[in-house]
Amino acid sequence: MTDPSDKPLRKTPLHALHVELGAKMVPFAGYDMPVQYKSGILTEHLHTRSQAGLFDVSHMGQGRLVGAGAVDALEALVPADVKGLEPNRQRYALFTNEQGGILDDLMFANFGGHVGVVVNAACKEADFAHLRSHLAKGVTVEEFPDKGLLALQGPKAVTVLDRIVPGVALMKFMDTRQMEWLGVKLGISRSGYTGEDGYEISVPAAKAEALARVLLAEPEVAPICLGARDSLRLESGLCLYGHDIDTTTTPIEAGLLWSIPKHRRNVGGFPGDQIIVRQIASGVERKRVGILPDGKAPAREGSEIVDEAGTKIGIVTSGGFSPSLNRPIAMGYVAKSHSTVGSKIGLMVRGKALPAAVVAMPFVKQNYFRG
């Protein structure tokens, strides 16, 4: 989860609050970010699954595309359905390159007069440059470095946020709304990256700490850091860019075919479309799978995956302990021949092949509110 660098670390609008609350701070994506509080990752994780956790995700890149050709410009860069997205709705997408590899994954939203985007922190400079280099005349990209981004996640998130911003309970998964809190304009989506119901809240940086303190004052809410965010998304079978997906993986290898609607599979019109469409038709040689190791030893990122004869067939891209299941879990890429659920594999840990099996994902049921 760390990101050593010689460059000075940037700080989010909640940095002082994290320090005040006793967080252990680490470098991540160029920022000084909290990895855990004194209560520990296990406690933070389980609190989010049972109550409501507040995450600082202000390091993410927020922006928008403005202009008459904004929708067309974005649709030409991703294999998602941008044109068909209804107003006040949000969708997951992938920036692909000409080889079918994944440059980044992102969220985009239809706000009527413009298209909002949220991209990963480590990729945001490259992503916004990528957008600008492919824009049609009359379309501009605006970045929002002066905004914070909070994620309130967990089964009690709706109860808490509706007390503070009445009306959010009427939203469904992937709905977006422009709302107000004490005269402050907020951009709210009912979404997140934990597998739980919840919201992401874009707020002016100057008001981010005040909003965070109001939310933390609610009895159901606890502050949660990067460590628990990572274990929550792993349990939910969600990809982490730079680990589970990158320019060497295609959406089909990564099991992200669901993000490509049928009409785009047929007509293409995005970078790498010929390769990706061919893979849809003919299959791939390796696939991202869920892995359940036997025993208590976790297999970390980079661990080799072997078949029963000891031959390397893949690699672990995310792995760790699942607080919800009280056992290790992992995901990674394996040869197609061993990608079916139930396949017996081995995970190389400290020079020994530990027995494991391919399992369906998510490891823990997702609880998005679809209405």
Query: Quick one: pLDDT at residue 113?
Result: 85
**Residues 149-201: tens digit of each pLDDT:** 999 999 999 999 999 999 999 999 999 999 999 999 999 999 999 999 999 99
Euclidean distance between CA atoms 202 and 19, whole angstroms = 22
Ranges for all domains in the chain classified under CATH 2.40.30.110: 285-359
Long-range contacts of range 338-341, CB-CB < 8 Å, 24 or more positions apart?
A: 338/307, 338/313, 338/314, 339/286, 339/287, 339/289
Q: Is the pTM of this model over 0.75?
A: yes
Structure-token pair, residue 343? 């396949």
Please state, for a pLDDT cut of 70, what percent of the chain lies above it: 98
Average pLDDT over residues 302-310: 97
Average pLDDT over residues 242-260: 98
Mean pLDDT of the chain: 96
**Residues 90-100: tens digit of each pLDDT:** 999 999 999 99
Query: Quick one: pLDDT at residue 6?
Result: 67
Cβ–Cβ under 8 Å, residues 99 and 272: yes
User: What CATH number was assigned to the domain covering residues 15-59+145-235?
Assistant: 3.30.1360.120
Amino acid at 159: T
> What are the residues whose beta carbons fall under 8 Å from the beta carbon of 309, sequence distance 6 or more?
none
Average pLDDT over residues 311-326: 98
Asked whether the predicted pLDDT for residue 7 surpasses 70, the reply is: yes
Name residue 179's beta-bridge partners: 186
Asked whether the predicted pLDDT for residue 2 surpasses 60, the reply is: no
Q: Which residue in this structure is represented by tokens 């970045």?
A: 143
**Residues 347-369: tens digit of each pLDDT:** 999 999 999 999 999 999 999 99
Euclidean distance between CA atoms 111 and 69, whole angstroms = 14
Residue 112: band (very low, low, confident or very high) from pLDDT cuts 50, 70, 90: confident
Cβ–Cβ under 8 Å, residues 109 and 116: yes
16 alpha carbon, distance to own chain's centre: 25
Backbone angles phi, psi at 280, to 5 degrees: -60, -40
Cβ–Cβ under 8 Å, residues 27 and 2: yes
Average pLDDT over residues 324-345: 98
Q: In the β-sheet with 102-110, what is the strand arrangement from edge to edge?
A: 89-96, 102-110, 114-119, 61-66, 140-143
Average pLDDT over residues 70-93: 97
- Residue 286's SS3 state is strand
**The length of the chain, given as a count of residues:** 371
Asked whether the predicted pLDDT for residue 3 surpasses 60, the reply is: no
Euclidean distance between CA atoms 298 and 152, whole angstroms = 29
Euclidean distance between CA atoms 110 and 317, whole angstroms = 32
Structural fold of domain 285-359: Elongation Factor Tu (Ef-tu); domain 3 (2.40.30)
Ranges for all domains in the chain classified under CATH 3.30.1360.120: 15-59+145-235
Helices 226-235 and 41-50: angle between axes, nearest 10 degrees = 60
- Residue 197's SS3 state is coil
Euclidean distance between CA atoms 251 and 369, whole angstroms = 25
Euclidean distance between CA atoms 354 and 339, whole angstroms = 17
Asked whether the predicted pLDDT for residue 131 surpasses 90, the reply is: yes
Average pLDDT over residues 295-308: 95
